Copies of this chain bind each other. A is one copy, B any other.
Amino acid sequence: MKKMRRSSRLVDMTQYLLSHPYTLIPLTYFADQYGAAKSSISEDLVIVKELFENRGIGMLKTVAGAAGGVQYIPIMKKEDALSVIKDICETLSASERLLPGGYLYMADFLGNPRVLSQVGKIFASVFAEKEIDVIMTVETKGIPLAYATAHYLNVPVVIVRRDTKITEGSVVSINYVSGSSKRIQTMSLARRVMPENARVLIIDDFMKAGGTAQGMIDLLGEFHAEVVGVGIFVETAEIEEKLVHDYVSLARITDVDSREKKVYVEPGNWFEK
Protein backbone atom coordinates (compact mmCIF):
# COMPACT_ATOMS: atom_id res chain seq x y z
CA MET A 1 0.00 0.00 0.00
CA LYS A 2 1.24 3.47 -0.75
CA LYS A 3 2.16 5.81 2.07
CA MET A 4 -0.85 7.53 3.58
CA ARG A 5 -1.08 11.05 4.93
CA ARG A 6 -2.07 11.70 8.54
CA SER A 7 -5.50 13.01 7.55
CA SER A 8 -6.33 9.81 5.67
CA ARG A 9 -4.79 7.66 8.37
CA LEU A 10 -7.05 9.26 10.99
CA VAL A 11 -10.17 8.51 8.95
CA ASP A 12 -9.13 4.91 8.38
CA MET A 13 -8.04 4.26 11.96
CA THR A 14 -11.33 5.65 13.23
CA GLN A 15 -13.41 3.36 11.03
CA TYR A 16 -11.20 0.37 11.80
CA LEU A 17 -11.30 0.89 15.57
CA LEU A 18 -15.07 1.44 15.58
CA SER A 19 -15.66 -1.80 13.69
CA HIS A 20 -13.30 -3.78 15.97
CA PRO A 21 -14.36 -3.09 19.56
CA TYR A 22 -12.62 -5.09 22.30
CA THR A 23 -9.91 -6.18 19.87
CA LEU A 24 -6.25 -5.61 20.64
CA ILE A 25 -4.70 -4.11 17.52
CA PRO A 26 -0.87 -4.03 17.41
CA LEU A 27 0.54 -0.67 16.39
CA THR A 28 2.55 -2.49 13.73
CA TYR A 29 -0.74 -3.39 12.04
CA PHE A 30 -1.45 0.28 11.42
CA ALA A 31 2.19 1.07 10.68
CA ASP A 32 2.29 -1.62 7.96
CA GLN A 33 -1.09 -0.66 6.53
CA TYR A 34 -0.16 2.99 6.13
CA GLY A 35 3.57 2.80 5.51
CA ALA A 36 4.12 4.99 8.59
CA ALA A 37 6.49 4.91 11.56
CA LYS A 38 5.13 3.55 14.83
CA SER A 39 5.83 6.92 16.44
CA SER A 40 3.52 8.62 13.92
CA ILE A 41 0.84 6.02 14.62
CA SER A 42 1.16 6.75 18.34
CA GLU A 43 0.65 10.45 17.67
CA ASP A 44 -2.41 9.66 15.54
CA LEU A 45 -3.86 7.54 18.33
CA VAL A 46 -3.53 10.41 20.82
CA ILE A 47 -5.76 12.50 18.56
CA VAL A 48 -8.31 9.70 18.16
CA LYS A 49 -8.27 8.94 21.89
CA GLU A 50 -8.90 12.55 22.88
CA LEU A 51 -11.77 12.93 20.47
CA PHE A 52 -13.37 9.60 21.47
CA GLU A 53 -13.24 10.62 25.13
CA ASN A 54 -14.47 14.18 24.59
CA ARG A 55 -17.40 13.06 22.46
CA GLY A 56 -18.38 10.17 24.71
CA ILE A 57 -17.70 7.52 22.08
CA GLY A 58 -15.53 5.35 24.29
CA MET A 59 -12.03 4.72 25.58
CA LEU A 60 -8.85 3.78 23.73
CA LYS A 61 -6.86 1.49 25.99
CA THR A 62 -3.18 1.25 25.17
CA VAL A 63 -1.27 -1.86 26.15
CA ALA A 64 2.51 -1.40 26.16
CA GLY A 65 5.17 -3.95 25.22
CA ALA A 66 5.84 -6.40 22.42
CA ALA A 67 2.40 -8.03 22.65
CA GLY A 68 0.79 -4.63 23.11
CA GLY A 69 -1.40 -2.44 21.00
CA VAL A 70 -4.56 -0.43 21.21
CA GLN A 71 -8.10 -1.46 22.06
CA TYR A 72 -11.36 0.42 21.59
CA ILE A 73 -13.80 0.04 24.51
CA PRO A 74 -17.23 1.47 23.65
CA ILE A 75 -18.52 3.36 26.69
CA MET A 76 -21.43 5.74 26.81
CA LYS A 77 -21.23 8.29 29.64
CA LYS A 78 -23.90 7.75 32.27
CA GLU A 79 -25.34 11.25 31.74
CA ASP A 80 -25.67 10.58 27.98
CA ALA A 81 -27.25 7.20 28.72
CA LEU A 82 -29.75 8.82 31.06
CA SER A 83 -30.73 11.35 28.43
CA VAL A 84 -31.27 8.54 25.85
CA ILE A 85 -33.36 6.56 28.36
CA LYS A 86 -35.42 9.60 29.39
CA ASP A 87 -36.39 10.13 25.74
CA ILE A 88 -37.33 6.46 25.49
CA CYS A 89 -39.41 6.64 28.70
CA GLU A 90 -41.29 9.62 27.35
CA THR A 91 -42.09 7.85 24.08
CA LEU A 92 -43.10 4.67 25.89
CA SER A 93 -45.51 6.60 28.12
CA ALA A 94 -47.86 7.32 25.19
CA SER A 95 -51.28 5.92 26.04
CA GLU A 96 -51.79 4.15 22.71
CA ARG A 97 -48.95 1.79 23.64
CA LEU A 98 -50.91 0.09 26.39
CA LEU A 99 -51.86 -3.48 25.47
CA PRO A 100 -54.06 -5.99 27.32
CA GLY A 101 -52.25 -7.68 30.23
CA GLY A 102 -50.17 -4.63 31.12
CA TYR A 103 -47.82 -5.15 28.17
CA LEU A 104 -46.45 -2.22 26.26
CA TYR A 105 -46.27 -2.03 22.50
CA MET A 106 -42.53 -1.73 21.81
CA ALA A 107 -42.15 -3.36 18.38
CA ASP A 108 -41.44 -0.04 16.68
CA PHE A 109 -38.68 0.68 19.19
CA LEU A 110 -37.17 -2.75 18.99
CA GLY A 111 -37.39 -2.52 15.20
CA ASN A 112 -35.45 0.72 14.93
CA PRO A 113 -31.74 0.08 14.36
CA ARG A 114 -30.61 3.45 15.73
CA VAL A 115 -32.51 3.10 19.02
CA LEU A 116 -31.25 -0.48 19.33
CA SER A 117 -27.72 0.61 18.73
CA GLN A 118 -27.93 3.20 21.52
CA VAL A 119 -29.52 0.75 23.97
CA GLY A 120 -26.94 -1.89 23.00
CA LYS A 121 -24.16 0.58 23.71
CA ILE A 122 -25.67 1.38 27.12
CA PHE A 123 -25.80 -2.33 28.03
CA ALA A 124 -22.20 -2.71 26.79
CA SER A 125 -21.20 0.20 29.06
CA VAL A 126 -23.02 -1.27 32.08
CA PHE A 127 -21.28 -4.64 31.70
CA ALA A 128 -17.95 -3.40 30.30
CA GLU A 129 -15.88 -4.77 33.19
CA LYS A 130 -17.49 -8.21 33.33
CA GLU A 131 -15.24 -10.04 30.84
CA ILE A 132 -18.20 -11.51 29.04
CA ASP A 133 -17.75 -14.50 26.71
CA VAL A 134 -21.31 -14.95 25.44
CA ILE A 135 -24.62 -13.09 25.45
CA MET A 136 -27.74 -15.19 25.87
CA THR A 137 -31.33 -14.22 25.16
CA VAL A 138 -34.64 -15.96 24.56
CA GLU A 139 -36.63 -15.64 21.38
CA THR A 140 -38.14 -13.42 20.05
CA LYS A 141 -38.14 -9.84 21.17
CA GLY A 142 -34.90 -9.91 23.14
CA ILE A 143 -32.89 -10.96 20.09
CA PRO A 144 -32.27 -7.54 18.52
CA LEU A 145 -31.17 -6.08 21.88
CA ALA A 146 -28.82 -9.00 22.45
CA TYR A 147 -27.16 -8.49 19.06
CA ALA A 148 -26.93 -4.74 19.48
CA THR A 149 -25.09 -5.33 22.76
CA ALA A 150 -22.94 -8.12 21.29
CA HIS A 151 -21.78 -5.82 18.52
CA TYR A 152 -20.24 -3.44 21.07
CA LEU A 153 -18.84 -6.18 23.34
CA ASN A 154 -17.58 -8.25 20.38
CA VAL A 155 -18.96 -11.52 21.71
CA PRO A 156 -21.29 -14.12 20.18
CA VAL A 157 -25.01 -14.45 20.92
CA VAL A 158 -26.83 -17.66 21.70
CA ILE A 159 -30.58 -17.81 21.41
CA VAL A 160 -32.73 -19.92 23.69
CA ARG A 161 -35.74 -21.32 21.83
CA ARG A 162 -39.24 -21.73 23.17
CA ASP A 163 -39.90 -24.84 21.13
CA THR A 164 -37.86 -27.94 20.47
CA LYS A 165 -38.13 -27.98 16.68
CA ILE A 166 -34.53 -26.89 16.38
CA THR A 167 -32.35 -27.84 13.45
CA GLU A 168 -29.15 -27.39 15.42
CA GLY A 169 -28.41 -30.91 16.62
CA SER A 170 -29.04 -32.16 20.15
CA VAL A 171 -30.63 -29.76 22.61
CA VAL A 172 -30.97 -29.36 26.37
CA SER A 173 -34.49 -28.42 27.49
CA ILE A 174 -35.87 -27.35 30.85
CA ASN A 175 -39.35 -26.60 32.09
CA TYR A 176 -39.86 -23.42 34.02
CA VAL A 177 -42.77 -21.63 35.60
CA SER A 178 -43.66 -18.23 34.28
CA GLY A 179 -43.65 -15.97 37.34
CA SER A 180 -46.67 -13.91 36.32
CA SER A 181 -48.97 -16.48 34.65
CA LYS A 182 -47.77 -19.45 36.73
CA ARG A 183 -47.92 -21.68 33.64
CA ILE A 184 -45.30 -24.32 32.92
CA GLN A 185 -43.28 -23.56 29.80
CA THR A 186 -40.30 -25.08 28.03
CA MET A 187 -37.06 -23.52 26.83
CA SER A 188 -34.28 -25.21 24.90
CA LEU A 189 -30.73 -24.52 23.87
CA ALA A 190 -28.72 -26.42 21.28
CA ARG A 191 -25.93 -28.27 23.02
CA ARG A 192 -23.10 -27.14 20.83
CA VAL A 193 -23.77 -23.39 20.82
CA MET A 194 -22.59 -22.80 24.41
CA PRO A 195 -18.87 -23.12 25.17
CA GLU A 196 -17.85 -24.78 28.47
CA ASN A 197 -17.40 -22.54 31.52
CA ALA A 198 -18.51 -19.47 29.64
CA ARG A 199 -19.12 -16.15 31.41
CA VAL A 200 -22.61 -15.26 30.26
CA LEU A 201 -24.58 -12.02 30.10
CA ILE A 202 -28.36 -12.48 29.86
CA ILE A 203 -30.22 -9.78 27.92
CA ASP A 204 -34.00 -9.54 27.59
CA ASP A 205 -36.51 -6.92 26.53
CA PHE A 206 -39.06 -7.22 29.32
CA MET A 207 -39.36 -8.55 32.86
CA LYS A 208 -42.47 -8.91 34.95
CA ALA A 209 -41.87 -11.47 37.72
CA GLY A 210 -38.55 -12.73 36.36
CA GLY A 211 -39.64 -16.30 35.60
CA THR A 212 -38.08 -16.28 32.14
CA ALA A 213 -34.81 -14.85 33.45
CA GLN A 214 -34.74 -17.45 36.24
CA GLY A 215 -35.40 -20.15 33.62
CA MET A 216 -32.40 -18.97 31.60
CA ILE A 217 -30.22 -18.99 34.72
CA ASP A 218 -31.34 -22.56 35.48
CA LEU A 219 -30.69 -23.61 31.90
CA LEU A 220 -27.16 -22.16 32.09
CA GLY A 221 -26.54 -24.35 35.11
CA GLU A 222 -26.94 -27.36 32.81
CA PHE A 223 -24.11 -25.97 30.68
CA HIS A 224 -21.80 -25.25 33.65
CA ALA A 225 -21.81 -21.62 32.59
CA GLU A 226 -21.55 -18.64 34.91
CA VAL A 227 -24.10 -15.83 34.83
CA VAL A 228 -22.15 -12.60 35.24
CA GLY A 229 -25.00 -10.20 34.54
CA VAL A 230 -28.68 -9.83 33.67
CA GLY A 231 -29.70 -6.79 31.63
CA ILE A 232 -33.39 -5.96 31.16
CA PHE A 233 -34.59 -3.19 28.87
CA VAL A 234 -37.96 -2.55 30.58
CA GLU A 235 -39.17 -4.03 33.85
CA THR A 236 -42.49 -3.56 35.50
CA ALA A 237 -42.82 -2.49 39.13
CA GLU A 238 -46.24 -4.15 39.38
CA ILE A 239 -44.73 -7.36 40.76
CA GLU A 240 -42.33 -6.18 43.41
CA GLU A 241 -40.96 -9.51 44.54
CA LYS A 242 -39.01 -10.70 41.48
CA LEU A 243 -37.70 -14.24 41.17
CA VAL A 244 -34.36 -12.76 40.14
CA HIS A 245 -32.69 -10.20 42.39
CA ASP A 246 -29.44 -9.27 40.76
CA TYR A 247 -30.32 -7.54 37.50
CA VAL A 248 -29.95 -4.18 35.79
CA SER A 249 -32.98 -2.50 34.24
CA LEU A 250 -32.81 0.53 31.96
CA ALA A 251 -36.47 1.54 32.31
CA ARG A 252 -39.31 0.69 34.66
CA ILE A 253 -43.07 0.86 34.26
CA THR A 254 -44.11 2.26 37.62
CA ASP A 255 -47.83 2.43 37.09
CA VAL A 256 -50.47 1.44 34.55
CA ASP A 257 -53.89 3.00 34.75
CA SER A 258 -55.98 0.83 32.41
CA ARG A 259 -59.12 2.87 32.85
CA GLU A 260 -57.47 6.18 32.05
CA LYS A 261 -55.15 4.42 29.57
CA LYS A 262 -52.07 5.92 31.16
CA VAL A 263 -48.62 4.40 31.52
CA TYR A 264 -45.86 5.77 33.70
CA VAL A 265 -42.32 4.86 32.69
CA GLU A 266 -39.16 6.07 34.42
CA PRO A 267 -35.43 5.24 34.19
CA GLY A 268 -34.59 1.80 35.63
CA ASN A 269 -32.54 0.65 38.59
CA TRP A 270 -29.17 1.22 36.91
CA PHE A 271 -29.63 4.96 37.18
CA GLU A 272 -30.27 4.72 40.92
CA LYS A 273 -26.90 3.16 41.58
Which residues of A come within 8 Å of B, CB atoms? Answer: 6-8, 10-12, 14-15, 18-19, 47-48, 50-52, 55, 57, 99-101, 103, 105, 107-108, 111-114, 116-117, 139-140, 143-144, 147-148, 150-151, 154-159, 161, 167-169, 190, 192-193
Contact = CB atoms under 8 A, between A and B. Distances in A.
A157 B107 CA distance: 9
Chain copies in the assembled complex: 2
A85 B10 CA distance: 29
A107 B190 contact: yes
Contact of A168 (B12, B99, B148): B99
A157 B55 contact: no
Most buried by B among A57, A111, A116, A151: A111
A5 to B, nearest CB: 8
Most buried by B among A112, A114, A147: A147
A156 B101 CA distance: 26
A253 to B, nearest CB: 13
Contacts of A151: 113, 117
30 contacts: A7-B7, A7-B10, A7-B47, A10-B11, A10-B14, A11-B11, A11-B48, A11-B51, A18-B18, A99-B169, A101-B167, A103-B167, A107-B158, A107-B159, A107-B190, A107-B193, A108-B156, A111-B156, A111-B157, A112-B156, A113-B151, A113-B155, A113-B156, A116-B147, A117-B151, A139-B140, A140-B140, A140-B143, A143-B144, A147-B148
Contacts of A14: 10-11, 14-15
B7 A117 contact: no
A147 B112 CA distance: 9
A7 to B, nearest CB: 5
Given A101-B167, A140-B159, 14 more contacts: A6-B7, A7-B7, A7-B47, A8-B51, A10-B14, A11-B47, A15-B18, A105-B169, A105-B192, A107-B190, A113-B154, A143-B144, A144-B147, A147-B148
